Amino acid sequence: MIFSKLMRSLKENKFTISGEIDPPKGADRTTIIEQAEYLKGHVIASNVTDNPLGIVIMNTLVPCFIMQNEVEIEAVYQVTCRDRNRIAIQSDILGAAALGLKNVLALTGDHPRMGDHPESKAVFDLDSVQLTKLLRIMIDEGTDMAGNKLKVAPKMHVGVGLSPGMRPLETELIKFEKKIRAGAEFSQTQVIYDSNILGELRDETKDCGIPILVGIAPLKSLGMAKFMAKHVPGVVIPDDIMQRLEKSTNLKETTIDITSELLRNIKEVGFSGAHIMPVGMDYAVGEIISRAGLK
């Protein structure tokens, strides 16, 4: 059974592009609409992040609902295990399904020590593999985790994360395979800039049985590129990209070019799709896609 546009596109073997928006730090709905409007017509669905790094921003469900209903972009509801135990997660899933959300991305989540409230108590009642399994129980069995019948089961597709830059890669592949066995239906990856990592991921996952949307994010500046290469786990930025950013006289154009080339490459290598994290360059998403010739 297919519930979402995202899943239908993937099942039809169309090259599928998802986007991402960040909930605002503040009780403000305008930035939600603004970010989503930039993505409209360019992506088939968009993730809404769940307090990345454990930084306090608006509850994920709200932008999911606003984006889906007012901008008409299907949401991928990111759910992490950082702040909620199994009771809270299940109750949020029921609420999300009642709001019409059709895709959920099951993540373990960053530790609160990484964010702006490092003193807070980390929950991690479940991990991403266990969360995936729980979602399958709710969707397929129509019960909660304790086996109690749900009056109406949620109808959602379950996605999972994948970190292609993880070393040794086998540790990540073992975990990814567990996520698939637990019932994952699609995957979105951490950003990949390096064609070797992209090729390696293709080789290692070609028989995995679920579609993979490879993560990309425009490198807004040389500073950002250097920061990501140094501090973001698993991210490798090849020298030629660094040099192009360094020599650029029009950074915005260069960034759009680089990102669209990465996007084209993802398709050529044979992945099911791409997941664009605009990190502040929402306005450029349409241009990135059309320059990649994927419009």
Partner 1 sequence: MIVRKFKDSTDICKMVKPYKKVAIIGCGGCYGEGGKPGVLKIEKLIKETGIEVVASGVTGRQCAWKDRASKKQLKDDDAIITLARTSERIKEADVLVSLACGVGVQSLTYFAGKKAVIPGFDTFFMGLPEGEVFKEQCIGCGNCILHLTGGICPIAKCPKSIMNGPCGGVLDNSCEVYPENNCIWIDIYNRLKDIGELENMKIINNPKDFSIRVHPRSIR
Binding site for partner 1 (CB under 8 A): 81-82, 86, 108-111, 113-114, 122, 124-130, 133-134, 145, 161, 163, 166-168, 170-172, 174-175, 177-178, 181-182, 190, 231, 233-234
Residue 149 vs 231, nearer CB to partner 1: 231
Query: Alpha helices, DSSP H only, in the chain?
Result: 5-11, 30-39, 61-66, 86-98, 128-136, 169-182, 195-205, 222-231, 239-247, 251-269, 285-291
CA–CA separation, 89 vs 130, rounded Å? 12
Minimal distance, residue 113 CB to partner 1, in Å: 5
Minimal distance, residue 110 CB to partner 1, in Å: 7
Minimal distance, residue 169 CB to partner 1, in Å: 11
Residue 31 vs 130, nearer CB to partner 1: 130
Minimal distance, residue 124 CB to partner 1, in Å: 5
What does the buried/exposed string (b/e) look like for 182-203 if buried means 16 or more CB atoms within 10 Å of the residue's CB?
A: bbbbbbbbbbbbbeebbeebbe
Residue 92 vs 172, nearer CB to partner 1: 172
Minimal distance, residue 130 CB to partner 1, in Å: 5
**Which of 237, 178, 234, 236 is CA-nearest to residue 210?**
178
Residue 62 vs 166, nearer CB to partner 1: 166
Residue 111 vs 206, nearer CB to partner 1: 111
C-beta separation of 264 from 293 below 8 A: yes
